[in-house]
A and B are shown apart, each in its own frame.
Chain A
Amino acid sequence: MGKYRMLLKAAVKKQKGSIIGIFLLMFVLALCLFSALTVYISGMDSVENEMNRLGFGDFTVWVSRQPDRLPTEIENLPDVDHVLTQPLIFAGYEINGSYSDNEGQLIVYDGSVPYRFLTAEGEELPTPEIKPGTVYISPALCSVFDVQIGDTVQFELSRSNGIKSLTVAGYFADAFMGSSMIDMKSFLISDPDWEEMQRTIYEAADVDALGRVGAMLHIFQRADSALGEPDFHRQIYESTDISLYTEFSYRKESILSYMLLLQNILSGFLIAFSIVLLILCFIIIGHSLSVVVEQEKRDMAILKTMGQSGGGLRSVYLALYGGTVLLGLLLGLTFSQSVAGLLAKAMVSSTGMLIERMFPTGLIMAILLGILLLFALFLFACTEKILRIAPIQTIQESFNTKKVRSAFRKKSLGLDIALRELLSGKRKYIALCLISAFLVLFLSVIGRMGTWLGSNGEGLMNTFSVADHDLGVQPFNSSVPMDEIERIINWYSPIQETYELAMQSVTVNGQEYTANVLNDTKWFHVLSGNVCDGNSILITDTVASELNLAIGDIVQVASGGRMETYQVSGIYQCANGMGSNIGMSIQGYSKIGDITGFIWCYHYILENGSVRDYAMAYLQEHYRGIDVHTNSWSGLDGIVFVMHALIVVIYLIAALFILVAVALTAGKLLQSETGKMAIYKSMGLSSGRLRLSFAFRFLLVVMIGAGIGIVLSAFCADNVVESIFKMFGIGEFSSGFSVLGTVLPMVIIPLLFFGFALAFSAKIKRVSIVNLIAQNDE
């Protein structure tokens, strides 16, 4: 054992640069992967547990003005286990001068539902008593409306003095719609306020009422029910008149997806990036080991002549590299839990609830063991060469440099020397080429997504919107002077185009969806097929996949008890509700519903879209009874911010990886080229030119890798992103040339390699020509 300890000690001393580098890589990999995994798993579990704890059903329907008998009717269905009713009031609201696009849902807090109360920073608080005149809100509203404790929320209940002002007293975890990704928000209020508000709504004449009394109906499917989800929903909609009262409905999975949208985007990208990092780790470690074995070959051969077995030597390197990998992973895993905790807290303002950090032991251990096993096999394969070292042959081996051709010119001497070094030592640089290809590919994909998203999230909004628009105005009653409003909009910017939209709840083959009804169907984003007419509908990719439909298929669409047959005319793009919607024309919808009572939303496309925010602010300030919105939603800023922050973080991690990769490669190269550098110096080549030439090698090889990465990205990025986006209801993704997706990775990655190589080449300055004399005396 003594001799192995000695050999290991010597190897550690000689390879300490490589060991530190590999340790760092493994640490960052584990930190990135396990913190992202912990946040992802904990988020899913936390929100689902909280939803279950608060009584969210398998299927929850938001209804208004519903008859008292409705829950019992549903409960009597054969496959329904029970229905929980949570009364609420729908009312528009305004905070700090900003009017919300969506109605708030006021819930009386009587202690029967065990809500959790939080500080804005995500610390849990004991359950308070909600005093009259106060309201508890989701922490996500802090990021949307910049709201603080003590601010006032004004709820609009009726047109004639029906505004109720409540003071924000604190925050609660809203597992159903607390996320900043969801426009709808719940508010917890006291019983006396609830009674008063309900009275105000009931007392207002129908035409005067702005608020509505309703409920959340949490419907639970029987455990022994054989019905699939669509059939269960169909049973509820076809056997009761719930559709007459439905505002909207969500499956638990949809709410989960919405609640965790931002978090899943963040952790999803970090997990994807970790996989890229894992591949890079294999490349870097493989390269490092191969160079080390090459450099130590002679010493190993000498040891073999002294009777040391190849297996013994191999075990020294296995222990050294394996131990470093293990240590880096374990330490990264340990720290990842703190990072996950910090991430969970930092995301309270977007998730609207504190994600309880749970260590997903089984999964993480399985992944850790899997990675370790992969590395064990990889290291075993990389060290196999040690066994094949033939003692005498290796000791007597002369330089095996291959002759290559490349010209030398005075003007480009540094570059020409770099090119010659590359050509005559190709193998040494393959790892760098692969690393840059992978990094550029990944960063290009991320960049393409960033470009598609746009600086203000317009790309995302276009896929979520039914149709493009700059401004939308929805009057809640016929007394709103739309002519006047349009004159005002025209004053800000001439209106180019206008069309009208209404959103209605319908069932398609028994499954509940939102129908987007347009008076001018040309505005639908049709991906394939044709726009719809009076006899046809458009469906999204999500609906097509959920109901197994294709263009040309016949479907039954129903609303308010009337059903009609339509043909699917095409697939269109609208990611709203995770893509759970269809497109219809007025003529088409008229067959099953009465459009006279529609609350149309007027959409405007302006000549100068940049003035939309000013126009919106003016209209919001001067007109009551209208909802004015731009092509945006409250969660968009969060997504745009996270996406941009993610790009920065990923570039930083990439820079760290490049630093380590360059340190390992440059260190070994310089070590083996000290003599050559001294000769060049003796010929009068300055340290500066030698350093530049050295860094050029990295630049040249990395540019080849970057080129490969960009070509791969051009061929497959859109398809990869599109398949990921389909999970979020976005059916189409296409990106072209962009600075962020093409130029930036192509420039930044090679420059980072070049810069780090130049920095590490400082060693060349210390190479003394006297080394050449020392070699004389050998």
Chain B
Amino acid sequence: MKEAVLSGKKITKSFGNNTVLHGIDAEIYAGDFTVIMGSSGSGKSTLLYAFSGMDRLSSGQLFYRGQDITNAAEKELTQLRAENFGFVFQRTHLISNLTLYENIQMAGLIGALSDKECKTRTDALITRMNLDGAKDRLPSQVSGGEAQRAAVARAAINKPAILFADEPTGALNKANSEEVLNLLSSLHSEGQSVLLVTHDKEAALRGNRILYLEDGTIIDEMSLSAYAGKDKSREEKLFAWLEGLGW
């Protein structure tokens, strides 16, 4: 049986009178590449930030590896983010006055890595993300793809329990999107748990578990075999499922 890294019980999130998430029950399992799909405004990003503890719940409960973190102090959540969670945003959100190398290194230093470990992992990630030529440049001096690859490396450096990715290809062209998704798949293949929010079918194909969100409620979910490159049958299965949901 798979270990639930994150468990949400009756997760509700409201902004004033507007309730975005309606009592969602869901679990995110270790080793999965979970994808949350849904149309624009369905509440998928809100769910991701609720799961990650970045945004407090209006009601319901959230557990990290069985431990209730619903009302965890900011200090605990900070430590979780530093050591156990990694984030990739739609906009790269790199620190503008740090080079790509330093952006990745910074996350490692904030996390649990020693100076030496951090350097080793940063160097390795730079090579893996194909950023050797751009590592000493500032985010404003590199392409969107390079920046987003650095963002993925930053999220991965601490080998987090779960890597959250919020529309990571939303602002990228096709080639760059492909590259970023390949990196996420590659990390997943090495055991990295990933929670991806997207409204892109191609991106969703990278997951092995797809949750479908509509009006703040998970209305269905499906499982796929692990991604191992282009696979027509996986595509057909996912697209048919989505079509059935009115996508």
Residues of chain A at the chain B interface (Cβ within 8 Å): 398-401, 403-404, 408-410, 413, 420-421, 424-425, 675-676, 678-687, 768-770, 772-773, 775-776
A85 to B46, CA, bound (A): 97
Residue from A401, A679, A770 in contact with B140 in the complex, judged by beta carbons closer than 8 Å: A401
In the complex, which residues 111-139 of chain B have their Cβ closer than 8 Å to any Cβ of chain A? 111, 113-115, 118, 136-138
Contact B109 A403 (CB under 8 A): no
Contact B96 A401 (CB under 8 A): yes
A677 smallest CB distance to B (angstroms): 10
Q: Does B93 contact A (CB under 8 A)?
A: yes
A457 to B90, CA, bound (A): 70
A757 smallest CB distance to B (angstroms): 19
On whether A403 and B105 interact (CB within 8 A), knowing A683-B154, A685-B110, the answer reads: no
Q: Does B75 contact A (CB under 8 A)?
A: yes
On whether A409 and B96 interact (CB within 8 A), knowing A398-B140, A682-B87, A684-B83, the answer reads: no
A417 smallest CB distance to B (angstroms): 8
Residues of chain B within 8 A (CB-CB) of A769 are 49, 54-55
Residues of chain B within 8 A (CB-CB) of A398 are 140
Residue from B91, B106, B114, B170 in contact with A683 in the complex, judged by beta carbons closer than 8 Å: B106
Contact B140 A408 (CB under 8 A): no
A678 to B54, CA, bound (A): 10
Residues of chain B at the chain A interface (Cβ within 8 Å): 45-46, 49, 54-55, 74-75, 78-83, 85, 87, 89-91, 93-99, 102, 105-107, 109-111, 113-115, 118, 136-138, 140-141, 154, 166-167, 170
A404 to B102, CA, bound (A): 11
Q: Provide 7 A-B residue pairs closer than 8 Å at the C-beta atoms, listed in order of the A residue.
A: A403-B137, A408-B106, A682-B87, A683-B81, A683-B107, A775-B91, A776-B89
A409 to B94, CA, bound (A): 19
Residues of chain B within 8 A (CB-CB) of A404 are 97
A408 to B97, CA, bound (A): 13
Nearest residue, chain B, Cβ from A409: B115
A407 to B137, CA, bound (A): 15
B217 smallest CB distance to A (angstroms): 20
A233 to B112, CA, bound (A): 87
On whether A420 and B98 interact (CB within 8 A), knowing A681-B78, A776-B170, the answer reads: yes
Contact A685 B78 (CB under 8 A): yes
Residue from B54, B82, B93 in contact with A685 in the complex, judged by beta carbons closer than 8 Å: B82
Nearest residue, chain A, Cβ from B102: A408
Nearest residue, chain B, Cβ from A770: B55
Contact A773 B81 (CB under 8 A): no
A428 smallest CB distance to B (angstroms): 12
A427 smallest CB distance to B (angstroms): 13
On whether A682 and B78 interact (CB within 8 A), knowing A408-B109, A773-B45, the answer reads: no
B45 smallest CB distance to A (angstroms): 6
Residues of chain B within 8 A (CB-CB) of A425 are 97
A403 to B96, CA, bound (A): 10
Contact A682 B93 (CB under 8 A): yes
Most B CB contacts (10 A, CB to CB) among A408, A409, A679 go to A679
Residues of chain A within 8 A (CB-CB) of B99 are 403
On whether A776 and B102 interact (CB within 8 A), knowing A413-B110, A686-B78, the answer reads: no
A684 to B97, CA, bound (A): 18
**Other A-B pairs beyond A401-B96, A683-B107, A776-B167, 8, CB < 8 Å:** A398-B140, A400-B140, A403-B99, A675-B93, A684-B80, A686-B74, A769-B54, A770-B55
Nearest residue, chain B, Cβ from A684: B82
A403 to B135, CA, bound (A): 12
Residue from A400, A413, A421, A682 in contact with B54 in the complex, judged by beta carbons closer than 8 Å: A682
B198 smallest CB distance to A (angstroms): 12
B187 smallest CB distance to A (angstroms): 17
Contact A680 B95 (CB under 8 A): yes
Residue from A409, A679, A687, A770 in contact with B95 in the complex, judged by beta carbons closer than 8 Å: A679
B28 smallest CB distance to A (angstroms): 18
Contact A770 B49 (CB under 8 A): yes
A770 to B118, CA, bound (A): 27
Residue from B49, B79, B102, B138 in contact with A773 in the complex, judged by beta carbons closer than 8 Å: B49
Nearest residue, chain B, Cβ from A400: B140
A684 to B107, CA, bound (A): 8
A681 to B137, CA, bound (A): 23
Residues of chain B within 8 A (CB-CB) of A773 are 45-46, 49, 55, 89, 166
A694 smallest CB distance to B (angstroms): 14
Residues of chain A within 8 A (CB-CB) of B80 are 684
A403 to B107, CA, bound (A): 19
Residues of chain A within 8 A (CB-CB) of B110 are 413, 680, 683-685
Residues of chain A within 8 A (CB-CB) of B115 are 409-410
B48 smallest CB distance to A (angstroms): 9
Nearest residue, chain B, Cβ from A685: B110
Residues of chain B within 8 A (CB-CB) of A687 are 74, 78
A421 to B106, CA, bound (A): 14
A685 to B74, CA, bound (A): 11
Contact B82 A683 (CB under 8 A): yes
A680 to B97, CA, bound (A): 13
A401 to B95, CA, bound (A): 11
Most B CB contacts (10 A, CB to CB) among A403, A404, A682 go to A682
Residues of chain A within 8 A (CB-CB) of B113 are 410
A493 to B111, CA, bound (A): 69
Contact A421 B93 (CB under 8 A): no
Contact B93 A770 (CB under 8 A): no
Closest 3 CB pairs of A and B: A684-B82, A684-B81, A424-B97
Residues of chain A within 8 A (CB-CB) of B166 are 773, 776
